[in-house]
């Protein structure tokens, strides 16, 4: 599946300001609005994509995740989650941006279309979303994994199939709102007549009344239950990242659309490795003879071991870089590195024979410390390593 480029959709640069992003969205919305392109499915899809792009780029938090992780950070292609942009959702969330902006120049049908679509969307009820945490090891993060999660949630009533009625004639039109799902109250003030629209208190926005309520769910169409959900977690995810599993949240009353399930990543601390973005860090001890004489050793990595040569005369605190032995990028564009800090292990207990051997080295020319000036601190060597 081709990844979305939200900047390209709105035709703005990555350095565009909030006002420039808003202006670009209004322009796209005007161009592809359904009133101007009636029956044109391609224009409708572009209208939805523009709204999705604006939702991401106008929100500083979402924009930061998108700039950092691309599609995967906000829901595209692997799912880090935002809402589905149907026409009702767009007019509900962004309708205020269009006020007065499309009513001129032969675009007078905007408000009526927006309200009509909004009203229709209200009649399709959606269940509430759920959020769960999933604990992952670094090894699971490194390869990606499918996790099966048992979730307690509202499910469709098994007796009535989720419609809420035990008879064949499930519903009748709500007499209070006449099937619209909302009521309008007009109030005259010193500044004119103001209208307020609200969900119908009788049918709760559905536009319908259950004629013969199911005794098990009492007409709601939902009961408490549980479900095992399989979640595909891509390689390279990080702490607090959020994946979205569509329509695996709570069931909606009376046969509506299920809510979504948000899966938040929790990373289990590793016994050996520390993580910074896609890079891994490891403290590794070698013996004094290995440091002095040089040696070939095996360094642990996430997917096994890597053979490494220790040069003769290696000092404690020496840092080695194993390219590509870190974690994969969640966007699928390469791997991080493994940085190994080599520490020379000094024995804490010695036998008499060992003490005699080591005492013989005391005062020998090659055993007198001669540190180079640039190596006078661990942090100095570490900064020097990355500069080089």
Q: Say what the pLDDT of residue 66 is.
A: 84
At 89, list the tokens.
């959702």
Q: Quick one: CA torsion of 2, 146, 137, 328, rounded to 10 degrees?
A: -20
At 335, list the tokens.
């791997």
Q: Tokens 């081709």 correspond to what residue?
A: 2
pTM: 0.56
Q: Are residues 385 and 315 in contact, defined by beta-carbon separation less than 8 angstroms?
A: no
d(CA 281, CA 28): 46
Q: Are residues 344 and 360 in contact, defined by beta-carbon separation less than 8 angstroms?
A: no
pLDDT band at 121 (very low <50, low <70, confident <90, very high): very low
Q: Say what the pLDDT of residue 108 is.
A: 37
Q: Tokens 């900064």 correspond to what residue?
A: 383
pLDDT in tens, 20-59: 999 999 888 888 887 777 778 888 888 888 888 898 898 8
**Domains of the chain with bracketed CATH:** 1-122 (1.10.287.110), 125-170+211-268 (2.60.260.20), 273-387 (2.60.260.20)
- State the pairing for strand pair 261-267/130-136: parallel
d(CA 51, CA 86): 9
Q: Tokens 């590793």 correspond to what residue?
A: 270
Q: How many CB atoms lie within 10 A of CB 220?
A: 19
SS3 79: coil
Residue 349 pLDDT exceeds 90: no
d(CA 178, CA 202): 11
| Rg value, the chain, Cα | 31
Residue 377 or residue 291, greater confidence: 291
d(CA 24, CA 30): 10
Q: Which residues touch 292 (CB under 8 Å, ≥6 apart)?
A: 312, 313
Q: Tokens 């020379």 correspond to what residue?
A: 344
Helix 41-57 crosses helix 87-94 at what angle (to 10 degrees)?
40
Mean pLDDT of 367-380: 62
Q: Say what the pLDDT of residue 106 is.
A: 35
Q: Say what the pLDDT of residue 48 is.
A: 87
Q: Say what the pLDDT of residue 65 is.
A: 81
Mean pLDDT of 138-151: 92
Mean pLDDT of 148-174: 81
What number of H helices and E strands is found in the chain? 10, 15
> How long a stretch of residues is the chain?
388
Percent of the chain with pLDDT over 70: 76
Full DSSP string of 284-347: EEEEHHHHHH-EEEEEEETTEEEEEEE-TTPPTTEEEEETT-SPBPTTSS-B--EEEEEEEEPP
Q: Are residues 145 and 231 in contact, defined by beta-carbon separation less than 8 angstroms?
A: no
d(CA 374, CA 119): 71
Q: Tokens 């071991």 correspond to what residue?
A: 305
Q: Say what the pLDDT of residue 96 is.
A: 56
pLDDT band at 118 (very low <50, low <70, confident <90, very high): very low
At 230, list the tokens.
């399989």
The average confidence (pLDDT) of the chain is 78
Q: Are residues 117 and 98 in contact, defined by beta-carbon separation less than 8 angstroms?
A: no
pLDDT band at 381 (very low <50, low <70, confident <90, very high): low
Angle at 269 between CA 298 and CA 316, to 5 degrees: 40
Residue 276 pLDDT exceeds 80: yes
pLDDT band at 336 (very low <50, low <70, confident <90, very high): very high
pLDDT in tens, 163-200: 777 775 566 777 777 777 777 776 666 655 666 777 77
Q: Which residues touch 276 (CB under 8 Å, ≥6 apart)?
A: none
d(CA 208, CA 184): 17
Cβ neighbourhood burial of 338 (10 Å; 0-12, 13-18, 19+): buried
Cβ neighbourhood burial of 297 (10 Å; 0-12, 13-18, 19+): middle
Cβ neighbourhood burial of 45 (10 Å; 0-12, 13-18, 19+): exposed
């Amino acid at each position: 599946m081709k990844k979305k480029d939200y900047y390209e959709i709105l035709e703005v640069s990555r350095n565009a300001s909030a006002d420039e992003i808003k202006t670009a969205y209004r322009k796209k919305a005007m161009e592809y609005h359904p009133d101007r392109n009636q029956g044109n499915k391609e224009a409708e899809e572009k209208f939805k994509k523009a709204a999705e792009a604006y939702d991401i780029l106008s929100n500083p938090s979402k924009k930061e995740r998108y700039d950092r992780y691309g599609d995967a950070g906000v829901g595209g292609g692997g799912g880090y989650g935002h809402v589905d942009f149907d026409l009702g959702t767009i007019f509900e969330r962004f309708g205020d941006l269009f006020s007065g902006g499309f009513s001129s120049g032969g675009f007078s049908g905007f408000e009526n279309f927006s309200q009509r679509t909004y009203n229709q969307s209200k009649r399709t009820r959606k269940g509430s979303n759920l959020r769960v945490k999933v604990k992952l090891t670094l090894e699971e993060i490194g390869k990606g994994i499918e996790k099966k999660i048992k979730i307690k949630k509202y499910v469709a009533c098994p007796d009535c199939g989720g419609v809420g009625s035990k008879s064949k004639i499930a519903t009748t039109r709500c007499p209070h709102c006449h099937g619209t799902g909302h009521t309008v109250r007009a109030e005259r003030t010193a500044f004119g007549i103001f209208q307020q629209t609200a969900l119908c208190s009788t049918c709760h926005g559905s536009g319908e009344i259950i004629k013969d309520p199911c005794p098990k769910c009492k007409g709601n169409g939902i009961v408490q239950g549980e479900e095992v959900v399989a979640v595909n977690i891509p390689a390279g995810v990080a702490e607090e990242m959020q994946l979205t599993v569509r329509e695996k949240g709570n069931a909606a009353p009376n046969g509506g659309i299920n809510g979504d399930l948000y899966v938040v990543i929790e990373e289990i601390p590793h016994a050996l490795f520390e993580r910074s973005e896609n890079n891994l860090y490891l403290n590794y001890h070698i013996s004094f003879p290995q440091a002095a004489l040089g040696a070939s050793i095996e360094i642990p990595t996430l997917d096994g071991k890597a053979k490494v040569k220790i040069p003769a005369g290696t000092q404690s605190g020496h840092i080695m870089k194993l390219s590509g032995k870190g974690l994969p990028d969640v966007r699928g564009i390469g791997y991080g590195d493994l940085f190994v800090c080599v520490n020379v292990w000094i024995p804490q207990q010695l036998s008499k024979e060992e003490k005699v051997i080591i005492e013989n080295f005391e005062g020998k020319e090659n055993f007198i410390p001669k540190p180079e000036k640039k190596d006078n601190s661990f942090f100095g060597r570490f900064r020097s390593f990355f500069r080089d």
